[in-house]
Structure 1
Amino acid sequence: MSVEAVDALAREGFDHFDDFAASVRRLLPDLTRQLAAGVSGAAGGFGGVQVVGHTDWSLAPDDERAAVLGFFEAWWLDTLRSPQPLYSVDDVFQTCATATRTVTPYLAAWVAEAPGGTADVHLCAFLDLQHLDLINEDERMIGWWTDYSRPEPMAEIVTWVLEHGVDRIRAQGAPSDLLSRLELLRIPGYEERWAAYEARFLT
């Protein structure tokens, strides 16, 4: 199947297909090959892997679930360990989270990487890009989230940043300005955090 055809189908909603489960099984081999090769457009832009995320993988047969989760976890690790990954870390994180309906294994894999390596370089860039959305708890940060059975994962990400992310990038000499902005995440309530951000950085 062509890259263009796979990209178009990957962005469809589940109600586009007469047999949704069969269509996803048909799409996945081409989609994962194209993602791994860096030629897919489904790792960038809103709704990139929406159709995959509509599958509840906890209910899938063991072999299918293991294959899908195994691919996305391996793709994520390869991205973290690559100085110049084929897609941005932000795009891959969002794609993995949407496809598998969780952020938990990807955050766990990030913190399991050796401190001071390429993963921490990516972490610093990721937090620099996303710090305002974290402060505001802006759910659009994970704009492709499709697991309607659980809330947006913002609280989980904020907790992880405070418990692991800030210390890791501080140890690598992250800019003091970024660290100061991330420390605002310790203020409970996004409205209070935003007020503190405005007072400190916008006046």
Structure 2
Amino acid sequence: MSSSPSPSSSSSSPLEAARARLDAAVARVRFVFAGMRVLSQEPACPHCYTSDELALLRTPDAVLPDSLMRHFFHESPGLIDNFDEVVRRLLPQFAAYLAGGRFSGMGYAQSGLGRVDWRNWPRGQAEAIEEFIEAWWLDFLRDDSSPHAVADVLEVASDMAGRVTPLLALWAAEPRGGRADALLECFVESRLDDLLQDDPTVLGFWCDRQDLVAELQQWLVDHAVDRLTEYGTDDDTIIELLHLTLPRTSR
């Protein structure tokens, strides 16, 4: 005879399920990247960082102050010796930092993950990163208490992922009439002018990926129009959104 599900699993809310997935993803990143260190004796500009700060990068699992970690993680790769090593070294702390909601500078610069080709790292590392990004995005989609704007979070998530397809698929799969549609309405209202101009910076001021913007535009036409009409978004916004189907010169 099959066993019945435990009360905790059968009664968990969508947010609790997303939070459990995120916690597991953070733990997976911590495990996969544990013990990483930067091998260079001078991994970054010695005029920008103290010797003690640089020594932390060479010390496996040493916890950096949040501000220092953020500076290293968002540093220009040209100022870092082997930037991939630095990103690997900092990933466990950055993942916990991002998942814990302490990231106050969201969207102010391209992230370390957006500046390295992590999808060509060893399979276990790449899979851990991909799962973390998707789990973090899903948690945001379900968390009414998040202080962050949806456009800012999508910028960070798409920058880290290097693609928007899995993020949009998670968004589309969320139930209608709730937070996911409220976020969708907010995103369209705040970014529609840029979308109508085919402006890639709709996904971050650093973004020059026209292919990502085209995919986002098509997804909005395919999914947002019906959802937002049903949600009660005003007709003018829906009409403007439908203009994405026209050539840019006719919008």
- TM above 0.5, one fold? yes
2:165 aligns with: 104
Secondary structure at 1:180 match in 2: helix
| Aligned residue runs from structure 1 range 149-160, under 5 A | 151-160=210-219
Q: What runs of 5+ residues in structure 1 fail to find an aligned partner?
A: 194-203
Instruction: Using the aligned pairs only, state the percent identity.
Output: 34
State the Cα distance separating 1:145 from its structure 2 match.
5.3
1:27 aligns with: 90
Query: Is this contact kept in 2: 1:53–1:101, CA < 8 A?
Result: yes
Q: What runs of 5+ residues in structure 2 fail to find an aligned partner?
A: 1-63
Secondary structure at 1:153 match in 2: helix
1:181 corresponds, among 240, 247, 250, to: 240
- For the aligned residue pairs, the C-alpha RMSD in angstroms reads 1.7
Amino acid at match of 2:87: V
> CA separation in 1, counterparts of 2:151 and 2:69?
21
| Aligned residue runs from structure 1 range 1-203, under 5 A | 1-45=64-108, 47-49=109-111, 51-143=112-204, 151-188=210-247, 190-193=248-251
Query: Is this contact kept in 1: 2:72–2:86, CA < 8 A?
Result: no
> CA separation in 2, counterparts of 1:159 and 1:144?
21
Amino acid at match of 1:15: G
> CA separation in 1, counterparts of 2:104 and 2:70?
6
> What TM-score comes out, normalization by structure 1 length?
0.86
> CA separation in 2, counterparts of 1:182 and 1:86?
26
Secondary structure at 2:233 match in 1: coil
State the Cα distance separating 1:33 from its structure 2 match.
1.1
Secondary structure at 2:81 match in 1: coil
> CA separation in 1, counterparts of 2:197 and 2:71?
32
Structure 1 stretches of at least 4 aligned residues deviating more than 3 Å after TM superposition: none
Alpha-carbon displacement from aligned partner over 1:24-78 (angstroms, at most 9, x marks no partner): 1111111111111111244232x241x2112213211111111111111001001
Alpha-carbon displacement from aligned partner over 1:70-109 (angstroms, at most 9, x marks no partner): 1110010011111231422111111011111111110111
